[in-house]
Amino acid sequence: MYKILIVDDDSQVRFSLGMILRRAGHVVMEASNGNEAIDIFSNERPCVVLLDLMMPGIDGIETLKELQKIDSLVPVIMITGYGDVSTAVDAIKHGAYDFTLKPTDINRLLITIHKAIEKQDLERQNQKLLIQQSKLATLGEMIGSIAHQWKQPLSSINLIIQDLEDAYANGEMNKEYLDDSVKSILEQTRYMSETIGDFRQFFKPDKEKKSFDILKSIREVYSLIERQLRSLNIAFSIHCRCDKKTECDALINLKPCEHNYMAIKGYPNEFKQVVLNIVNNARDAIVDRRTEGKIGKNEIGCSVAIGCQAIKGNIKIQVEKQAGSIRVAVNDNGGGIPESVIDKIFEPYITTKQGDKGTGIGLYMSKVIIKNMGGRLFAHNIGNGAMFTIEFFSDIAELS
Ligand SMILES: Nc1ncnc2c1ncn2[C@@H]1O[C@H](COP(=O)(O)OP(=O)(O)OP(=O)(O)O)[C@@H](O)[C@H]1O
Ligand SMILES: [Mg+2]
């Protein structure tokens, strides 16, 4: 038994198709136009949609595009007349599963519905596996960055303890000395436990869409990887330009954007994972470029022999708000995306990283997440690096 949504402005078609499908044991919902279909689709989440191609108001293809923004895995079967086959083919290019000609061959339609649902189940399982895999990979990355975040406070604590011993041996120890040392140690351990708190927060998946400030999320990602980037000599900056056309560069100092909020409606933790994926890729590209010596002597005067650590890596994030859209552009100087993979980087399992360094699903997952939030993610090479752009059109929200 499946939940099936029939969308057709012809009540006769809805009635007869509905009756047959109900008789076959399915739960049938009906919509007489595109807008109604979008509403029912959002609230009821059917397993499959039968969608008339020619309807007054928003037509079949436009409705299809809207449904896909909500959930691109639900199969949509177009219902069409003989004269509209080329438009139906067009619908398939836009992601429809198949089309059926009027008058409908019911047996064929039932088989198509069955196959479409089987395919959807497989795709959902596959996506779950990929999400799981991607989370594990990110988990590994995050443990690495916690190790970085902890290195500094651990060595400070180490020094303070050694100093306590020396102070005691030299007779300098008194109540004030002890209090100062204890205070410093507590500060360091507080910082360490905050890092763990941020980390746990990061992995809680968001259940529902909510309004959140993009800039705040980017800064939270930065605070998790700050030390790691610094130890790799990679500069990181965030610039924001809101609809008032003023730019504030002070964002890295954890100041909120003074002019406006860069708020959207979506999944903040998932968004942070996307930013982390993109920034980690930029970091890898910069480190790779150094070891391969591509930045080389001729450009910045680095020789591979001295490790090229002296070369300043650069990751710059620009957030820009325009009427009706928000863009987040991440730019690096890691040498750019290799030409051999540039057209495929958003497909699963495409990686140029050696051994177990990359699984090739970071960008695939990022694209799925951004699409689920009604946005798009794309990339191109500029100058001596890559630029990844996230663009949100809908669901721009106001924060209270
Ligand atoms: N900033 C960048 N500069 C250059 N190449 C990049 C950049 N970002 C991505 N790429 C290329 O795109 C490929 C795919 O990236 P993706 O994040 O999907 O997988 P990965 O980083 O290889 O592995 P992982 O699944 O661990 O993230 C990379 O292997 C790399 O070749
Ligand atoms: Mg990656």
- At 212, list the tokens: 């959140």
Closest residue by CA, ligand 1 atom 11: 337
Measured in Å, residue 234 CA sits from the centre of ligand 2 at 17
- Using a 6 Å cutoff on CB, does residue 362 contact ligand 1? yes
**What does pTM read for this prediction?**
0.64
Residue among 395, 339, 397, 388 nearest 372 (CA):
395
Residues of the chain with CATH 3.30.565.10: 207-392
CATH of 3-104, one of 3.40.50.300, 3.30.1640.10, 3.40.50.12240, 3.40.50.2300: 3.40.50.2300
Nearby residues of 128 by Cβ (< 8 Å), 6 or more positions away: none
- Using a 6 Å cutoff on CB, does residue 149 contact ligand 1? no
CATH of 207-392, one of 3.30.565.10, 3.40.50.800, 3.40.50.2300, 3.40.50.150: 3.30.565.10
Instruction: Give the ligand whose atoms come closest to the C-alpha of residue 350.
Output: 1
Measured in Å, residue 359 CA sits from the centre of ligand 1 at 9
Closest residue by CA, ligand 1 atom 28: 351
Q: Where are the beta strands (DSSP E) in 162-287?
A: 210-213, 234-241, 247-248, 263-266
Instruction: Give the ligand whose atoms come closest to the C-alpha of residue 141.
Output: 1
- Using a 6 Å cutoff on CB, does residue 341 contact ligand 1? yes
- Using a 6 Å cutoff on CB, does residue 351 contact ligand 1? yes
Q: Which residues pair with 376 in a beta bridge?
A: 391
Measured in Å, residue 358 CA sits from the centre of ligand 2 at 6
Closest residue by CA, ligand 1 atom 10: 337
- Using a 6 Å cutoff on CB, does residue 350 contact ligand 1? yes
Q: Which whole-number Å values give the CA distances from 225 to 181, 184, 276, 284, in the listed order?
A: 28, 23, 9, 13
How do the pLDDT tens digits run along the chain, 400 residues long? 889 999 999 999 999 999 999 998 999 999 999 999 999 999 999 999 999 998 988 999 999 999 988 888 899 999 987 677 788 888 888 899 999 888 888 889 999 999 999 999 998 888 888 877 777 777 777 777 777 678 778 888 888 899 899 999 999 899 999 998 999 899 889 878 877 776 666 666 666 788 888 888 888 888 778 878 888 889 998 888 766 555 555 455 445 555 556 788 888 888 988 998 899 999 999 988 877 655 443 344 344 444 445 568 999 999 888 777 899 999 999 999 999 999 999 988 899 998 777 888 889 888 888 888 889 999 999 989 999 999 998 556 555 4
Residues of the chain with CATH 3.40.50.2300: 3-104
Which residue from 351, 356, 369, 370 has its CB within 8 A of the most atoms of ligand 1, so it is best to mutate?
351
Q: Where are the beta strands (DSSP E) in the chain?
A: 3-7, 27-31, 48-52, 76-80, 98-101, 210-213, 234-241, 247-248, 263-266, 313-322, 325-332, 375-382, 385-392
Measured in Å, residue 259 CA sits from the centre of ligand 2 at 33
